[in-house]
Amino acid sequence: MNTQDQPVTPDSGATRSELWSAMKRATIMMVDDEPITLEIIQMFLEDAGYTHFVNVTDAREAIDTLERERPDIVLLDLLMPHVSGFDILQEIRNHERFEHLPVVVLTSSSDAPTKLKALEMGATDFLAKPVDESELVLRVRNTLAAKAYQDRLTYIDRLTGLPNRQMLLDRLDWAMKHAQRYAQTGALLQIDIDRFREIKEALGPSRADALLKGISTRLEGACRESDLLNVLSETESSAGLARWGGEEFSLLLLGQLNPDSIARIACRVLKAMDEPFVIGEQEIFASLSVGIATFPDDGADIDAVQHNAAIAARSLQSSQANPHGAFQFYCKELNARTLTRLDMESELRRALNRGELELHYQPKYAVDSESVIGAECLLRWQHPERGQIPPADFIPIAEETGLIVDIGQWVIDDACRQLAQWLAAGLSPGQLAVNVSAQQFRHRDFVSSVADALTRHGVAARHLKIELTESLLMRDPQAVAAMLTELRALGVQLSIDDFGTGYSSLAYLSALPIDELKIDRSFLTHVESRRESAAIVRAILALAHSLEMNVVAEGVETAGQLDFLKAHQCNAFQGFLFSRPIPAPDFTALLPPAAP
């Protein structure tokens, strides 16, 4: 951004020469009704290497100029017509944006009361008139050096060295006023790191910080102002990157922008993540979701622009995952969709207490006998006004908000309650399989909560099966293995869901206490018509049997698929060929009586 818009904040490791070079870029505003005094002071400071000056000879224009130019230091004469320096100093100190701005008072008065009054009102330093060149340069340098240090504490993110949220908001405020005054267009790009919460839990805090620093370095390279201006091909353009907080960055653009030029910048940002990051000995790929809000079109104030950029970024994270990242411009339809999601989040929080959630059961059948041997528990939401809401509409919201932990615990508890009811009725329900999300599994009380549910309902652990995705198993393998061992010690069965879609190794699988593999439905779809699909299924079956694991095939819809599974000794299957997911009363009707 322009120098008026950013505090002088050299890098934390800057040398004296680098610090001095940064301070020379400072904007110095001088307020004095004597033009000759301004000329002399500017000449002295130019000789010292300073280049950016704002001169005000009419004191009535001082505050408006201050707000427009946002200088790094003010040299203020006390005795002027129309408005005194004391009045200007008072306004500066009462201004939220400038209450800590350095103000060096210029005065020909030598009496102590005048100096004391200025100090009490917040003057930073004094210079006597006529100004001595050496003293002027020294006091300006020392004041700017102190300001640079304070600005770094206030405006710079310690981890990445980028401008922080506070500086970004200051820049955005200035940019929006500048755009309005000069009929320019601005854009705020909110840059979110996809799945960073999961990555952080897998890597640990220190390695996650290393990844954040690596990403910020890549973004700095992609957002270097000189390079961006070449992409924008505009003479009156500027750009500034900041860390908004957590896993969020922001890029502020200003100039004669259009959607194509903004999109080119967004593509440049996404491309910066093409190569993996090496953290320790591990390669990590990161992708970004970039939400874009322009101003003044997408907002008349800071909150609106930032909010709308966040909505656009969030819309990407709520849709189909893109391994290469994506960008999205804000539109009113996105806002309406976000409001709908917020309403659904509020209602979902109440749904647990209102008894609106229920389990349906997808029966599992033995391949050889085609008899019912259990079921997979599937969550359903019966809304009192909207009717049945599909899981695809509310499960992502539950995961995003953390509600999935409480909901997942309810599912386990209700499955145990239903098992107890069937067993008490003299029926043989087999095993009920419950899908567990990554958030729920990693919760510190997960194992104990499973044990508590079994104990509370008096159900033997062998009747409960926990299904985990293959990708979950690959995050923090040592911690995962320890938790699986604890669950296995309870007597709970363990299953890998959607097997074949992840990247787990044979050696890793053989070391885990897994009882069952579930073949993902995508492999079954073409098992009758494509040799490669049939070969994959045969290989999974052979792998599982060699490890003494059972195999369940998901999504069986044709008799031909079932015949293939029989021919290759698959243990169990589920799918629409025999039954869709059904409510508890319908599943009860399928259960055989318990053996005497």
Tens digit of each residue's pLDDT (9 = 90 or more) over 88-99 = 999 999 988 888
Q: What is the model's pLDDT at position 506? A: 59
> Would you say domain 351-588 falls under CATH 3.30.420.40?
no
pLDDT on residue 411: 97
Model pLDDT, residue 239: 65
CB 330 within 8 A of CB 312: yes
Q: Report whether 338 contacts 311 (CB < 8 A).
A: yes
Spatial distance between the Cα atoms of 489 and 219, rounded to a whole number of angstroms: 47
CA distance linking residue 166 with residue 275, whole number of Å: 31
Rg of the Cα atoms in the chain: 33
Weakest-pLDDT range from 56-60, 209-213, 441-445, 586-590: 441-445
**What was the pLDDT predicted at 3?**
38
Q: Which residue has the higher pLDDT, 579 or 338?
A: 579
Beta bridge partners of 326: 289
For the chain, the average pLDDT equals 86
Q: Reduced to 3 states, what is the DSSP secondary structure of residue 345?
A: helix
Mean pLDDT of 287-306: 91
Tell me what pLDDT residue 11 has: 47
pLDDT at 507: 64
The answer to whether the CB of 568 falls within 8 A of the CB of 541 is yes
pLDDT for 6 equals: 47
Alpha-carbon distances, residue 78 vs 86, 107, 213 (angstroms)? 6, 6, 47
Q: Which of the given ranges, 172-181, 257-266, 373-382, 474-483, has the highest pLDDT on average?
A: 373-382
Give the pLDDT of residue 290: 94
What pTM value is reported for the model?
0.59
Per the document, the length of the chain is: 596
CATH code for the part of the protein at 165-330? 3.30.70.270
Q: What is the pLDDT of residues 27-61, one digit of tens each?
A: 999 999 999 999 999 999 999 999 999 999 999 99
Is 449 a residue whose pLDDT tops 80? yes
User: Does residue 508 carry a pLDDT above 90?
Assistant: no
Looking at the predicted structure, is the pLDDT value of residue 13 above 50? no
Q: What is the pLDDT of residues 219-242, one digit of tens each?
A: 988 887 555 555 554 434 556 899
Could you report the per-residue pLDDT of 113-143, keeping only the tens digit for each? Answer: 877 888 888 898 888 888 899 999 999 988 9
* Residue 64 clears pLDDT 70, i.e. is over it: yes
Same fold? 3-155, 351-588: no
Helix or strand run (H / E) with residue 282 = strand 282-284
Structure confidence by residue, pLDDT tens digits, 305-350: 999 999 899 888 755 556 678 898 988 777 676 677 778 888 998 8
Percent of the chain with pLDDT over 70: 90
pLDDT at position 422 = 97
- 4-13, 35-44, 83-92, 200-209 — which is least confidently predicted? 4-13
CA distance 295 to 124: 36
Q: Is the CATH code 3.40.47.10 the one for domain 3-155?
A: no
Which letter does DSSP use for residue 595 in this model? P
CA proximity to 453, closest of 503, 506, 422, 408: 408
Question: Given pLDDT bands bounded at 50, 70 and 90, which one contains residue 480?
Answer: confident
Looking at residue 114, what is its pLDDT?
79
Predicted pLDDT of residue 225: 58
Do the Cβ atoms of 528 and 564 come closer than 8 Å? yes
pLDDT value at 521 more than 70: yes
Give the integer Cα–Cα distance in Å for 529 and 533: 8
Tell me the sheet residues that pair with 127.
106
Least confident of 32-46, 55-69, 137-151, 398-412: 137-151
Could you give the percent of the chain with pLDDT greater than 90?
A: 47
Residue with the bigger pLDDT between 58 and 201: it is 58
| Closest of 362, 379, 466 to residue 414, by C-alpha | 379
Res 218: pLDDT: 93
Domain coordinates of the chain in residue numbers?
3-155, 165-330, 351-588
